[in-house]
Amino acid sequence: MASAYAYADGGQLSKELESLILIERFGVQAIFNRPYLGGKELKDMIFAENVYKACVERKQTDNVVEWDMSNPSKADLIHAAYKAAVEFGFVKEEE
């Protein structure tokens, strides 16, 4: 979650998002040397993708406050991801 937020903020591509991109292009077998993904892997990748997409969507709006009010679950997700990204040192805290 934190690394996906950092990527949306201009940082390095998160391993979960990188895995999604590579799997889409080459398939699970080629990337993980097995024909399946585990439940935790799937959840982590989907969660990272949701964080990234919410951040991109929010950045594209002209009115962030209105967007947050119209998308409370996405806003909460972004806020939690931001807090984790700051905690892990992926981004600097906004002043």
**What residues does each domain of the chain span?**
2-87
Residues contacting 85, CB < 8 A, separation 6+: 2, 3, 5, 6, 9, 91
Q: Report yes or no: 91 and 5 within 8 Å, Cβ to Cβ.
A: yes
pLDDT digits (tens, 9 = 90+) for 3-56: 999 999 999 999 999 999 999 999 999 999 999 999 999 999 999 999 999 999
| pLDDT score of 73 more than 90 | yes
pTM: 0.91
In Å, how far from its chain's centre is CA 40? 15
Q: Which residue has the higher pLDDT, 32 or 95?
A: 32
